[in-house]
């Protein structure tokens, strides 16, 4: 399908996934045949808008007319005032989020040609979810899983995991919801000023935090998902990774407090033939909050997927 030259990407939509209107960003392929779809799964918080500059750069730099990029938010992690998500008060578990991404992939497979190939990219817990999607859909045309700053094992005993476990055990989920309700009553300029002052965020990250993250239902879902992560992400499934190792690119950073250096060492010790990297620039876990880190990671990922696209 050809789009007008004046149309700006990404396209933003509430994508119906089994009745749930999913916040979605789409960069469509320039040619609709022989497509390779890059399906992006965010971390936690799971608002895909955090990653817009990252995905935009990948799309703009790709010479392939067959590359399509689709990124989705987690269930309950966005407030879309044009859809029923604005009224959704359900608290979703990690397993709910995994099933949601499986449903997304199934829908993409149904709506595209049989030979369509898929590249899954996950950030943080999105890497774990991507692996689980591959585990449940090994014959669905997934040719690559790129795990960025991945929380694939023992998340609860990482430095940040220990802190978050204490936090979610001491403070009830409802308290985060109340805080979100209070903040959401502030005027948008004041809310943005306060977020900028406390977090030092800027640009796209600041906009998303101030105007999309700080809502009662979103914060409660972020905390609920984190609680399930601490209880669920423990032992690594060695048989699964040995079986699918050639599909994985796994990328760690030295001082990451969610996926620390010893996780990189562990993977290198157990999967010597794996495509496993340690960041040379010590880029932080939340790379999507800093423009120069977005650019660096987009260029690196773009190089990796270009190698896959050459095999079209």
- Mean pLDDT of successive 10-residue stretches along the chain, which has 312 residues: 71 94 96 93 98 98 94 92 63 98 98 95 99 97 98 97 93 86 86 88 89 91 96 97 98 97 98 96 95 96 88 61
pLDDT of residue 174: 87
pLDDT of residue 82: 53
DSSP string, the chain: ----TTPPSPEEEEEEETTEEEEEEEE--SSSSS-EEEEEE--SS--GGGGHHHHHHHHHH---TTEEEEEEPPTTS---TTSGGGG--PPPPHHHHHHHHHHHHHHHHHHS-TT-EEEEEEETHHHHHHHHHHHH-TTS-EEEEEEES---S-GGGSHHHHHHHHHHHHS-HHHHHHHHHHHHTS-HHHHHHHHHHHH---HHHHHHIIIII-SHHHHHHHHHHHHHHHHH--S--HHHHHHHGGGEEEEE-TT-SSS-HHHHHHHHHH-TTSEEEE-SS---S-GGGSHHHHHHHHHHHHHHHHHHHTT-
Find all residues with CB under 8 Å of 293, minimum gap 6, and list them: 283, 284, 287
The pTM score is 0.94
Q: What pLDDT does 92 receive?
A: 97
- Tokens describing residue 30: 């320039």
pLDDT at position 243: 97
* Inter-residue long-range contacts of 162-170, CB under 8 Å, 24+ positions, other chains counted: 164/226, 164/230, 165/230, 168/223, 168/226, 168/227, 168/230
pLDDT value of residue 1 = 55
Tokens 């789009």 correspond to 3
Largest CA distance in the chain: 53
Give per-residue pLDDT as tens, 5-46: 667 889 999 999 999 999 999 999 998 888 999 999 999 999
pLDDT of residue 201: 86
232 vs 10: CA distance, rounded Å: 33
**pLDDT value at position 83?**
52
């Amino acid at each position: 399908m050809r789009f007008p030259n004046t149309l700006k990407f990404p396209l933003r939509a509430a994508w119906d996934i089994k009745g749930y209107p999913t916040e979605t960003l789409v960069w469509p392929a320039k040619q609709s045949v022989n497509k390779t779809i890059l399906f992006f799964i965010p971390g936690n918080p799971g608002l895909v808008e955090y990653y817009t500059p990252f995905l935009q750069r990948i799309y703009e730099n790709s010479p392939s007319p067959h590359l399509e990029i689709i990124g989705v938010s987690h269930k309950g992690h966005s407030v879309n005032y044009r859809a029923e998500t604005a009224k959704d008060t359900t608290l979703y578990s990690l397993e709910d989020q995994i099933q949601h991404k499986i449903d997304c992939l199934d829908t993409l497979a149904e709506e595209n040609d049989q030979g369509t190939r898929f590249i899954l990219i996950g950030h943080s817990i999105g890497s774990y979810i991507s692996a689980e999607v591959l585990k449940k859909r090994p014959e669905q045309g997934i040719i690559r899983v790129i795990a960025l700053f991945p929380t694939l094992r023992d998340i609860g005993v990482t430095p940040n995991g220990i802190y978050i476990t204490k936090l979610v055990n001491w403070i009830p989920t409802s308290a985060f919801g109340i805080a979100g309700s209070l903040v959401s009553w502030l005027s948008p300029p004041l809310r943005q000023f306060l977020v900028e002052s406390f977090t030092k965020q800027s640009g796209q990250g600041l906009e998303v935090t101030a105007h999309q993250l700080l809502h009662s239902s979103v914060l409660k879902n972020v905390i609920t998902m984190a609680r399930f992560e601490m209880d669920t992400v423990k032992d690594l499934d060695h048989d699964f990774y040995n079986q699918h190792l050639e599909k994985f690119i796994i990328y760690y950073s030295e001082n990451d407090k969610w996926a620390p250096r010893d996780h990189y060492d562990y993977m290198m010790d157990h999967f010597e033939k794996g495509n496993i990297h340690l960041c040379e620039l010590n880029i932080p876990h939340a790379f999507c909050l800093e423009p120069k880190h977005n650019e660096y990671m987009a260029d690196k990922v773009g190089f990796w997927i270009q190698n896959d696209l050459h095999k079209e």
